[in-house]
Structure formats: structure tokens, C-alpha cells
Amino acid sequence: MEASELPEGSDAVECDAVDRMLVVGETVIPVPPPGLTVTMHMDYAGGGSITSEASTALDGTVTYDSETLAPLEAENPPTTTLPDEDLTTETDPIDPGPDENDPSIDPKLAVQRNGCDRNRFNWWKPAKVYGSFPMRVSTDDAGEPAGGTTSDTASALRRSLGTWENENSPCFSSDQSAVPNLFYDGLTTTQGDFVDTASGTACAPRADIDSRSSVDIGDLEPNALVAGTCTWTTGHDGLNEVIQADIRFNTTDYDFTYTPGDGDCDSNDFDVISILTHELGHVLGFDDLYDPANRYLTMSGRVNNCTTYLRNLGRGDVLGLRERY
């Protein structure tokens, strides 16, 4: 269905559009039933993204939007900077990080890149996780990222979930947000709820999702996408509640690794834990940041190969977390 066949403001129920795939700009998104929102965020390797969202109000009114930031050409979207005193009484000094012009600094070493001098964050949807939020690892025949075992993926998922729940950051010494219980919930034999369409990968319609949040591997189209996240949310006290979120690694076009600092890492290798931590930020409601000055924050949209600095939260990531949670 083309957007021209379902103008914004139409009644999705009367138009018999619920659960049909809608072409919006360069993306495809399912039309959700009343009371539900579907959001897709796909990250290009190196920088840039494809985002789309469709929402149907309780009265059937449908709205939708999409945006494509081309690889390596993305500009910094609007950001929010809040005074530190509005969010925390933290007194730890800010570590500005190393001198960018120091030739002895290896930009691939996480210990030298921590994002503690950047306060930026940006929300991309009015949604949040409430209560406990379990996530599973898919164990179907597609395999696991980095050619590892399900135990490897489970360990990476536990670490990334814990990073957000516990505010794991070199920039602060204490956890002051109230992020709900994000936890690993075992294995599932089903893949994430992504579908292939003529216009590229899309989130599955509500009628086809399994209500289990999971991490899997597979293909994402267009093929320059390194990873993607689909979330399904429903109304809850002004901020939609995330009821399911699926994350996919594009193992068809890219390789992944758990040891990006070793000598075998090449231009096609991406760190599993960094990707997971970044994509979980989208589940929690964060958008990407593209200003080069923010590239060491977990939510930097410049997801680079052979690096680990997205594994731990930067200052802006934590401040954003404390604002919403």
C-alpha cells in the first residue's frame, strides 16, 4: 500500500489498512491496530540510519513518518543538552579524554575513548520500558554473530543489558537512574519479527509478532545496514510502553567479533557487544547522534568497525537515561 492510498489522518480500520505494509518514503512499515505504534531503526555501517514509524490512535486515526540519513553523510539531528545540576549531584571530575592530535593515541582502544566530555543525547520516540523487560537469544539454524555459540551471545546480551540498567560508565561512580529490570530470559527457537519486502527489511505487523523480545542474525536490506531494531509500543501515561523489541545483526553482509582489538580485526568486523549496547539504547528510546564530537558516546550514529568504545555509556548517555528514567 502506498502512502497516497492512506493519507495521514485516515481511519486505518475503516480503510481496512490494519496490518498491511505501508510504503513511506524509502521505507516500509506495517499499519498497526488502534492503540499501537511500530518503530523501525536500522543503522548503516560507519554512520547513517533508516527510521520509520507508524501509529494508530484508539479512534483509528493513523500517522506515520520516515527519515533516511545516508551513510557517512548524516548531519547531527537536534539534540538536548541539560545542565548537570538538573540531573545529578555527581561530583566526579569530567575526563576530557586524550588529545585528538596526539599521534601515540590509538583510536581503536576503548580505554582511551570514553565520551566523558560530551553531554549530548537525543530522544527519538515518546516511549520507554516499564517494569521488567526480558530478552531472549534466537537459536535457529541461522547461527550466532561472530560465529560464536548461543552462550557467547547470551553473555554479550547480559553485559549490554546490565550496562544500561546499572549505568556502567567511566564518567560516573554511582547509578542514579531507575531503569527497569532488563534481563536475559533464555533461548528461543524463533527469529526476530522482521520481514522482507520489495522495498527492504521491515518490522512485522502486529498480527505476526510473537510477543517475545529477541536477538538474532540474518539479512537486512539495503545491504549497507549493519544492525537494526524493531519496537512495538502501546499507550501508557503519556509515554508509550515498549511491549516487544527485536534486534538483528546483518551477518549476510558483515562479520562480527568479540575481540576487536586483536590483529585479526578488519574493515568488515564489528564488535558484538558494542552493537548490542547501541541497539538497546534504541529500545530504551534514544536516537543516534552524528556530530563527530559525539562519536565516543554509546548512542553515536557512527558505528565503526574494530572499536569497543560503544560498550560503556558516555556522559551524555547517562544524562539522557537519568532524564527519562
3-class secondary structure per residue, 270-286: EEHHHHHHHHHHHHHCE
pLDDT of 120: 86
27-30/36-44 β-pairing: unpaired
86: three-class secondary structure by DSSP: helix
**Which residue matches cell numbers 510504503?**
23
How far is 37 from 58, CA to CA, in rounded Å? 11
pLDDT of 185: 96
How far is 9 from 128, CA to CA, in rounded Å? 25
**Kindly report the CA angle at 39 between 35 and 42, in degrees rounded to 5?**
175
pLDDT of 88: 38
127-128/62-69 β-pairing: unpaired
How far is 90 from 81, CA to CA, in rounded Å? 17
**Kindly report the CA angle at 98 between 92 and 102, in degrees rounded to 5?**
165
pLDDT of 113: 57
Q: Is 89 exposed, middle or buried (0-12, 13-18, 19+ CB in 10 A)?
A: exposed
Which DSSP string do the residues of 108-151 spell out, in sequence order? T-GGG---TT---B-B-SSEE--S-EEEEEE-STT--GGG--HH
How far is 70 from 257, CA to CA, in rounded Å? 25
Residues linked to residue 80 through DSSP beta bridges, in sequence order? 121
pLDDT of 143: 80
The size of the chain, in residues, is: 325
pLDDT of 73: 53
Residues linked to residue 55 through DSSP beta bridges, in sequence order? 37, 63
pLDDT, mean of each 10-residue run, the chain (325 residues): 95 97 93 96 90 95 91 53 40 40 44 70 84 91 85 95 94 89 94 93 95 94 92 86 95 90 77 95 92 87 84 93 92
How far is 208 from 197, CA to CA, in rounded Å? 15
Residue 55's closest CA among 41, 40, 68, 39? 39
How far is 214 from 142, CA to CA, in rounded Å? 14
